[in-house]
Structure 1
Amino acid sequence: MFAVAVTFQVKLDCLTAFLPLMLENARTSLREEPGCQHFDICHTPGEATVFLYEIYDNKAAFDAHRAMDHFKDFDAATAQMIDTKKLRVYEEVIR
């Protein structure tokens, strides 16, 4: 398992445009990427903070996600809408 947590600080005036694009990116990832197991989108009410929690089979599946055309399109379309983006990755502790 490979977990990804991303926090976006979206420009407030861009939030209503950003959220549908984010939702489509998540839905396409789940539908078209066999290695994408989970993709949650959370939003802080009253703020322009968006938090993602994604689970992939492994790092290779996450790397494949980032190489997908739909991800590249999302990334390009939203680049000017984002003030900051913080990405953290976590690997499963083998028991």
Structure 2
Amino acid sequence: MYAVVVSFEIRPEAMPEFMPLMLANARQSLELEEGCQQFDVATDPLRAGEVFLYELYTDRAAFDVHLSAAHFKTFDSAVAKMIVTKDVRTFTEVTQ
């Protein structure tokens, strides 16, 4: 497994527009990308404007497919000006 966690800080006025686009991106990733196993979108009401993603892919190559997917590129372009900060971290499963 290849895990990706993303934290966004979204401009407060952009949240109503950002969230439907984010949820559509998550849904399309799961529906269209064979290697996307999980794509969770989470928020905390005490931290308005913060959006947390937890994504699982079969491997790094599957994540690369996600990054090159048309739906992701469309989403990324549409939300670019809505984002204050974005932190992406990746993790590879530890095996023995």
TM-score, normalised to structure 1, is 0.98
- The aligned length equals 95
Give the alignment's Cα RMSD to 1 decimal: 0.6
| Partner Cα separation in structure 1 for residue 68 and residue 29 of structure 2 | 11
**What is the 5 A alignment of 1:26-37?**
26-37=26-37
| Partner Cα separation in structure 1 for residue 26 and residue 84 of structure 2 | 20
Matched, 1:58 2:29: no
| Partner Cα separation in structure 2 for residue 84 and residue 71 of structure 1 | 18
| Partner Cα separation in structure 1 for residue 80 and residue 44 of structure 2 | 20
- Match of 1:45, SS state, is coil
The one-letter code sitting in structure 2 at the alignment partner of 1:91 is T
Over the matched positions of the two proteins, sequence identity in percent amounts to 49
Show structure 1 runs of 5+ residues with no match.
Answer: none
Runs of 4+ in 1 over 6 A off after TM superposition: none
TM-score, normalised to structure 2, is 0.97
1:12-68 CA-to-partner distances (Å, cap 9, x unmatched) read 000010000000000000000000000000012141000000000000000000000
Matched, 1:40 2:40: yes
